[in-house]
Amino acid sequence: NAGVMQNPRHLVRRRGQEARLRCSPMKGHSHVYWYRQLPEEGLKFMVYLQKENIIDESGMPKERFSAEFPKEGPSILRIQQVVRGDSAAYFCASSPQEEYGYTFGSGTRLTVV
Amino acid sequence: SQKIEQNSEALNIQEGKTATLTCNYTNYSPAYLQWYRQDPGRGPVFLLLIRENEKEKRKERLKVTFDTTLKQSLFHITASQPADSATYLCAPSYSGNTPLVFGKGTRLSVIA
C-alpha cells in the first residue's frame, strides 16, 4: 500500500492561472481531508469529502477554491486565478472512517509568482 | 470560539530525559484527542488516539493522558533521543463527521 499520494510535489503558477492539486487516498479509505499550511503556521482545515460528497467545506474560501472526490479517480483541489497569498503547502489526508488516525500525504508546495 | 493551545512554541531537552508536551483546549468537549508528529517538509504522522473515557494510553516510549476536567492532554516521550526532534501536534475532536482541528504544535529539540 503506497499510502496517500499527492501530486505534484511542487507547483509553480503565475498570478491568475489555475492550480490543480491531486490526492489519491490510501486503499480502503473513503474519507479525504485537505489542509493548508503556511511557513511557521499550523495546519488549517479546508474541506472534508467522502466519495462524490462534500461533507464540510467550512474552511475553504468561498471564491476561487473548489474540491471534488469523484466516484473514480483522485480527489482534486482546484484554485482558480491564483494570487500570491495562495502560496503554501497543501496537505491531503485520508482515513477509513471517523475516529481513526489520519494518514497524510507528503503535500504539494504551491508557489505563486 | 474553540481554541487549542500547545505549550511553548519550542522545547529543548537533553537526550535521555522525559519530554512533556501540553495541549490545552477551551470551548470544546472533545470525544477523543489525537497526537501527530511532523518533520520539516513532510506531512504529519499519526501517533496516538485517546478517548474521553480513557485516562492514559501508552505506545512504546510514548504516553498520553487526557483530563477532561482540566481540559488538557499531556504527551510524554521517555528516554528521549535526537531522532525524536520534530514538531508535535495535538487535535481534540468531536465524534461524528467532524474533521480534525490542529493546534499550532510544539517544536521539540532533543540535544545529544
Using the beta-carbon criterion (under 8 Å), do B99 and A48 form an inter-chain contact?
A: yes
Residue with cell 535521555: B16
pLDDT of residue A1: 58
pLDDT of residue B23: 95
Residue B86 has pLDDT above 90, yes or no: yes
- Taking CB atoms and an 8 Å cutoff, what residues of chain B touch A103? 46
State how far the Cα of B20 lies from the Cα of B75, in Å rounded to an integer: 6
Of A4, A33, A101, the CB nearest to B99: A33
- Taking CB atoms and an 8 Å cutoff, what residues of chain B touch A93? 43-44
Of A41, A42, A107, the CB nearest to B43: A107
Nearest to A18 by CA among A83, A73, A67: A83
Residue B56 has pLDDT above 90, yes or no: yes
A68-110 pLDDT, tens per residue? 999 999 999 999 999 999 999 999 999 998 778 999 999 999 9
pLDDT bracket for residue A19 (50, 70, 90): very high
Of A35, A101, A106, the CB nearest to B42: A106
A27-66 pLDDT, tens per residue? 989 999 999 999 878 899 999 999 889 999 999 999 999 9
3-state secondary structure of B28: coil
- Taking CB atoms and an 8 Å cutoff, what residues of chain A touch B101? 45
Nearest to A76 by CA among A34, A36, A23: A23
Residue B96 has pLDDT above 80, yes or no: no
Handedness of CA B41, A88, A2, B92 (dihedral sign): positive
Of B45, B49, B99, the CB nearest to A56: B99
**Chain B residues contacting A, CB < 8 Å?**
31-32, 34, 36, 42-47, 49, 89, 93, 95-105
**Chain A residues contacting B, CB < 8 Å?**
4, 33, 35, 41-43, 45, 48, 55-56, 91, 93, 98-107
3-state secondary structure of B16: coil
Percent of chain B scored above 70 by pLDDT?
Answer: 100
Q: Largest alpha-carbon pair distance within chain A? A: 39
Q: Which three cell numbers stand for residue B71?
A: 481540559
State how far the Cα of A82 lies from the Cα of A70, in Å rounded to an integer: 23
Nearest to B7 by CA among B18, B17, B19: B19
First-to-final CA distance of chain B = 41
Q: If you measure CA to CA, which chain A residue comes closest to B31?
A: A99
CB contacts < 8 A (A, B): 56
State how far the Cα of B5 lies from the Cα of B104, in Å rounded to an integer: 7
